[in-house]
Amino acid sequence: MQILAISGSLRAGSANSSLLRAAAVLAPEDVTVNLYGELGDLPHFNPDLDIALAPHSVARFRAQLRSAAGVIISSPEYAHGVPGALKNALDWLVASGELYEKPVALFSVSPRANYAHASLVETLTVMTARIVSEACIVLPLIGKNLDKYGIISEPHISRTIRTALIAFSQATSLQEQR
């Protein structure tokens, strides 16, 4: 099963990206987590550009989403909201429908990111994505400066990630069987 992981942060040392890299290592044997690395390459959303031949980076993004059984998003909160680059990426998907009924799990590295989480849930719900609540996790990683290896080496954290991935895999498999 292929899962696309999207970090809402463009920072090279992002805790959100590190969390998703750790998830790729901790994924069950039958699950492959691929980190989407082109969020910053997407042009600003413009409906006039969203025609039969969308910009190349948008077409690649959409193709990766279509081939994924599910999506994991880990995003920081900026000024009580979702980072602009992530919201922009989601805007490119509204009319094309790649998230329609697609299972989505939300991972967070901060228990204080309530506004961004709520905003993300609202946006994904409007887009008819299926949020798998039993696979959504909040881990207190802010300020710990852990890379993927540091996250993996923390038993409680790695166990929480693995449990979420198993729940996500099971929910996604059930949907694929429908």
- At 127-174, the pLDDT tens digits run 999 999 999 999 988 878 899 999 999 999 999 999 999 999 999 987
Cα–Cα distance measured from residue 103 to residue 129, given in angstroms and rounded to the nearest whole number: 6
Q: Which CATH superfamily is domain 2-177 in?
A: Flavodoxin domain (3.40.50.360)
Give tens-digit pLDDT for 82-105. Answer: 999 999 999 999 999 999 999 999
Q: What is the CA radius of gyration of the chain?
A: 15
Give tens-digit pLDDT for 23-60. Answer: 999 999 999 999 999 999 999 999 998 887 899 999 99
Predicted pLDDT at 140 = 87
Q: Which pair of structure tokens corresponds to residue 108?
A: 């967070």
Domain ranges for the chain: 2-177
Query: In this structure, what are the phi and psi dihedrals at residue 144, rounded to the nearest 5 degrees?
Result: -90, -15
Cα–Cα distance measured from residue 122 to residue 87, given in angstroms and rounded to the nearest whole number: 12
